[in-house]
A and B are shown apart, each in its own frame.
Chain A
């Protein structure tokens, strides 16, 4: 700071200057106290502006979601609605909407149960039994899981589902989606289980508890927040899945909400923004409610990081 020197001497000559007085009150505040202050204020303003822009960017779609369903003539922009409940009525007139919500629920719950049960068992075993190459196996599974349910695997998956007669069944969708979620679920749950000392289980074993009793009495209660996390995550994932049910289900009676949302177009191919926005709001509510409920109940917390 080259300007600091002359200022300093000027101060000492004329102690009545503002900065001089300020310095006397707070001697350790540093040489260029004034400039630092300005920089601090500017920095705060800059940060706040940046955050406001980011916040606006993300909140506009949410605002749209909150307003458009109640707008008689919604457009792609967010605006104050011409208030109406009519959109909900016309949405419920669509025969597939209600059944699609039920389908979504069925597929999400089925996958969540399957993922939680299988991942808990696998994670427990992997956490407690020394398997050679265990970590490598987990990482490879994790890597492949994005491929399994990804676009690239759609053709073989379709082929497989056809041969197994799983086309047009909820089971087919549940199995496919669970397969994709399992590796990550196992990975996260294994971390939870690694974090619980083995002496609890050994203690129970000495008292004669069987492995399943140990799992039920000791391990599951201890990793319950982890199980809740996985369940919520699985439900949210399945709830939003489009490609797999779209391909595996031919019958619109079995399609979940995410697929039905895609059919809300006019004959001419224009999106029915009124129905899409209303359905989107309706469709996102259960997940939000579930998240709030589970987070209240169990409080999402990860013991330690993903990897120690």
Chain B
């Protein structure tokens, strides 16, 4: 178990890359640190590894305070974004390097390297140098090297970002299976929300050095507690529209919707994922709970289309199944599905509408 309390890292020059952060990561958990570029994910990961000295706060691994320990004594293994394979060593020596440091005999460590390599289908490549490997192979060698050190914790910094899109999907599945088999606590950094949703048991969404929300992929997807998380999670950005509650009704972008429960009158933010609205190309008769607008943009997503409606001064996006896409310029109506919209006030989730 990794537990961080009040962790702060301030760089010389005053940048607070990590800002009094508390976090608990369970044993065997596959944990994602997700956030936009520059939010401090790498700094947090490096602090856990011991490569950065925190300005204040504590880091515990399995109950031991490791805040002051050097990286080598924390029993963690890190896979760097550029993999950091030693270019002058062949694959065997690279994988066996952690064992070399632990003074394991050459024959033993070569056997262990070969064993780890075969598990990651690297047996054919043992004699090659990193420069002679493809990106995907390099990534697996880096994983093998981390595995060979038998750590308590794996730390991955954007392990998939150097792979091309196709390979990334394969590597994702592979990584998830591997982590399940090894059952080693794993913290990985990514700025790709899809990757975090697909891989992680739990996700911490970070912004500007702070954690905005921690939860399972389903929690952060369906119940984002703030508009930042709401806007960040999801392959198509959530519609976040200014709204207001008046006399038990919700007024959003020209539509009038029923207001659930006990919400006081006043301004709100209405959040609706483009997937959770249906597009109608004829005016629904006698209904006021729909958004009307003109089709401004139609983007092809493959099996679906993302339609952007221009509704006065607001843009509303709707995902439309293949074949139902409207023509650009045509009038159209977006019908929100009930129980799917999120209402925020003062950037806090109030309820689901």
Contact = CB atoms under 8 A, between A and B. Distances in A.
- Per DSSP, chain A at the interface is helix
A199 interface: yes
Interface stretch (B2-10, B65-73, B336-344): B65-73
A231 to B, nearest CB: 18
A85 interface: no
Interface string B89-105: 00000000110111000
A71 B182 CA distance: 79
Given A202-B51, A213-B101, A207 B72 contact: yes
Interface in A251-292: none
A206 B49 contact: yes
Given A202-B51, A203-B78, A208 B84 contact: no
A205 B82 contact: no
Interface string B37-79: 0000000000001110000000000000000001111001110
Contacts of A205: 51, 70-72
Interface in B97-118: 97-98, 100-102
Contacts of A221: 88
B86 A206 contact: no
Nearest to B93: A217
Contacts of B51: 202, 205-206
B276 interface: no
Nearest to A130: B12
A14 B101 CA distance: 86
B179 interface: no
Interface residues of B, number: 22
A202 B70 CA distance: 11
B305 to A, nearest CB: 42
Nearest to A222: B88
Contact of B84 (A199, A209, A213): A199
Nearest to B79: A203
Contacts of A218: 86
Interface string A70-111: 000000000000000000000000000000000000000000
A197 B82 contact: yes
Contacts of B49: 206
Contacts of B88: 221-222
B78 A206 contact: yes
Given A202-B51, A222-B87, A208 B82 contact: no
Contact of A208 (B80, B86, B87, B102): B102
Contacts of B152: none
Contacts of A66: none
Given A202-B51, A222-B87, A209 B82 contact: no
A202 B84 contact: yes
A293 interface: no
B20 interface: no
Nearest to B72: A208
Interface in A197-226: 197, 199-200, 202-210, 213, 217-218, 221-222
B216 interface: no
A208 B73 CA distance: 6
Contacts of A222: 87-88
A207 B80 contact: no
Given A221-B88, A222-B88, A204 B97 contact: yes
B63 to A, nearest CB: 21
Interface in B132-162: 149
Given A207-B77, A222-B87, A199 B82 contact: yes
16 contacts: A200-B84, A200-B87, A202-B51, A203-B80, A203-B84, A204-B86, A205-B71, A206-B50, A206-B71, A206-B78, A207-B72, A208-B98, A208-B102, A209-B72, A209-B101, A222-B88
Interface of B: 49-51, 70-73, 76-78, 80, 82, 84, 86-88, 97-98, 100-102, 149
Given A203-B84, A208-B98, A217-B97, 15 more contacts: A199-B82, A200-B86, A200-B87, A202-B51, A202-B78, A202-B84, A204-B86, A204-B97, A206-B72, A207-B72, A207-B149, A208-B71, A208-B73, A208-B101, A208-B102
